[in-house]
Amino acid sequence: MRAAEVLAGSAARFGTSGLRGKVEVLNAETVTAAVAAFVDLCGEGPVWLGHDLRPSSPAIAANVIAALEATGCSTRFCGEIATPALAHAAFVRREAAIMVTGSHIPFDRNGLKFFPPERELSKADEAVMLVSKAEVPLNLSPAPLPSPDRTASRQYRQRYEAAFPDLLNGWTVAHLQHSAAGRDELSALLEALGATVLRTDRSEDFVAVDTENISPQMTKRAVEIVRKGGTDAAIATDGDGDRPLLADETGQWFRGDALGLLAAHALGATRVVTPVTTTSAAELSGFFDTLTRTRVGSPYVIEKLGNGVGFEANGGLLTGGTFSGLTPLPTRDSVLPILAVIRLARERDVPLSALRDLLPSRHTQSGLLRPVEAIQAAEMLEKLEARSSHASALHPADIALTDIDTTDGLRFMFSDRSIIHLRPSGNAPELRLYTEDNTADTAQALLSHAMNTTRAWLEGRW
């Protein structure tokens, strides 16, 4: 059977970042077909392989190894590792990589993230894989996973030890480890840079940390930790370690787009690429000579990246050029934005909280509704776009609608410069909502009203 036939019949789908689906649909046949199509795209050669800490990830990784061996490729198995660490090792050697991860989505789902030599998988690459005529070897017998090679993790850590020596001398940093891939290496890196590290909130059960939708519990927990430990900062990452969270000395998390904006500024970037969901503070700050907006998803950012810096509303930072002496890493990275922003605070001799004053007073909030299947979300947005008068009902006040951006979902802009954005997730049965306004309270009020209104529409109460 051809890879294209198997993938067409599978419920697994390419989203904003890799092939994703429920664990049961990422069976041996689907995984083997996806790997065969990837090898067909890249050609035979060594493939670096890693996985996150989801319960299903080791078994999927074993299926990937069996599929690679059946196609004639050798595997450099790295075991549990952060996605950017795996990608960095492969990019340096101009070799391919596969990461078994569902990133931040719930544990009953998983995925495969593919890296051809020196780059992330593009949307054009996805299209090629989906029509691949590669033969799919069936009835493979996966062997137990081999002992992992820690080279990739070690080199990723050395990358930042060299670029930010002694950065954290005298600082105490709380690391909320959760179930993030690369958590131990990240704590060790912080210590190597001089920090006293408070390791906390480690979990052996998978915790789905969504850096775009910071829960009230996460906010409360950060405040508790910094007050008790007297820390200068708190950090965390999502499940595969490519999306960061950074909290200041008061326990307040920087929103991902604010973190990316400050990090790009700290790195001296003049050219920035960011999705449409990023706060308009990116333009209003005046930090950059050129700013380009894209659809949501790292492939779209990378397509326009050039030698600049890209960042997303989830906080992930991508570099297309050399910054702070670091070679380009055109995939989401969680470590660089954290360290770059801390260095900015240290250079100015101010606490992290003071950096918020560098940004225009634009505040964003985000939330999600689930379960919302893709077809249901598409039907609602189509109906809403056709009858744009309904958009006014999303806003709690009688404010005129001035524009609709259809780059990714529907982004409504109102005469008072407030923004409400509805976007179906590309990875899970979710509808994401984003709001922006001049204060955090009004942005939250917008979000609450818009979510209630949208929920009613999804239930047929127009």
Strand-pairing partners, residue 420, are: 412, 435
CA distances from 107 to 23, 79, 200, 205, 216 (A): 9, 18, 21, 9, 20
If you ran DSSP here, which 8-state letter would residue 326 be given? B
Residue type, 453: T
Please report which helix (H) or strand (E) contains residue 20, including its range: strand 19-22
Spatial contact of 45 and 140, defined as CB atoms under 8 Å apart = no
**Is 103 assigned a catalytic role?**
yes
Q: Based on C-alpha coordinates, what's the Rg of the chain? A: 22
Residue that has been written with the tokens 């909280």 in this structure: 353
Number of H helices, E strands in the chain: 14, 20
**3-class DSSP assignment, residue 79:** strand
Tokens of 19: 């092939």
Enclosing H/E stretch for 256: helix 256-266
List the structure tokens of 434. Answer: 């984003």
Q: Where are the beta strands (DSSP E) in 149-287?
A: 172-178, 196-202, 233-237, 244-247, 271-275
Q: How far apart are CA 461 and CA 221, in angstroms?
A: 37
Considering 10, 57, 103, 285, which one is annotated as catalytic? 103
Residue 172 CB burial class (10 angstroms; 0-12, 13-18, ≥19): middle
Q: What is the chain's length? A: 462
Q: Which residues contact 431 (CB under 8 A, 6 or more apart)?
A: 368, 369, 370, 372, 377, 422, 423, 424, 425, 454, 458
**How far does CA 143 lie from the centroid of its chain?**
31
First to last CA, the chain: 47
Active centre residues (catalytic): 103
